[in-house]
Amino acid sequence: MMKKNVLLIFTQEIMYKPIIYRLVKDHDIVFNVLESKILPKQEGRIILELTGSEEQLENALNFVRDEGVVVEILANRIKRDEDLCTHCGACTAVCRTDALSIDRETMEVIFCPEKCVACGLCKLACPVKAMSGMSIEVDPEELQSGESTVPQLDL
Ligand code: SF4
Ligand code: SF4
């Protein structure tokens, strides 16, 4: 069994379709809601931890994409700026999933984006603002750099 954390974005046209229900029923996926943001009649965003076999996860994500959902793999969004990071270790104290941990031999902070659940605590803890991309919305820096494929919330 694998786990994959994803940000799903539902546009106005599809936000009331039972897509999550079909993820479970048709694809046998176990899910855990990490964060959600609903703007009624406009847009829905949800960060899910999905559990299943590699094939189940691939089929499930293909299914939601075919239904018109924008899918972002969280591990591809979360970034640490290696030039800024001083390996001070402050973020490891708040990261409850061990996505950030200290290598006791080298005393460097190891970042494993696949374990990240987008809680955002490391961003608050980091004195040099090295962490980015864990917001359910789009970071302004990502928009400026053109890195994000996620549509901006139309508030
Ligand atoms: S708190 Fe920031 S600077 Fe310190 S180890 Fe974590 S990412 Fe690097
Ligand atoms: S957002 Fe930061 S603190 Fe939270 S799980 Fe991800 S790496 Fe850890």
- Select the highest-mean-pLDDT range: 40-44, 48-52, 75-79, 137-141: 48-52
Q: Does the Cβ of 110 fall within 6 Å of ligand 1?
A: no
Ligand 2 atom at minimal distance to the Cα of residue 97: 5
Q: Does residue 39 register a pLDDT over 60?
A: yes
Pocket test for ligand 1, best of 78, 80, 86, 108 (most atoms within 8 A of CB): 86
Q: For residue 52, what are the contacts with CB-CB under 8 A and spacing of at least 6?
A: 1, 2, 27, 28, 29, 30, 60
List, by residue range, all CATH 3.30.70.20 domains of the chain. 79-145
Residue 28's pLDDT band (cuts 50, 70, 90): very high
pTM (2 d.p.) = 0.82
79 within ligand 1 shell (Cβ under 6 A): no
All CATH 3.30.70.260 domain ranges of the chain, comma separated, are 2-75
- Domain at 2-75: CATH architecture: 2-Layer Sandwich (3.30)
What is the arithmetic mean of pLDDT over 31-44?
91
- Please work out whether the CB of residue 120 comes within 6 Å of at least one atom of ligand 2: yes
Nearest ligand 2 atom, CA 125: 3
Length of the chain as a residue count: 155
Domain 79-145: CATH architecture, name and number where available = 2-Layer Sandwich (3.30)
Residue 147 pLDDT: 59
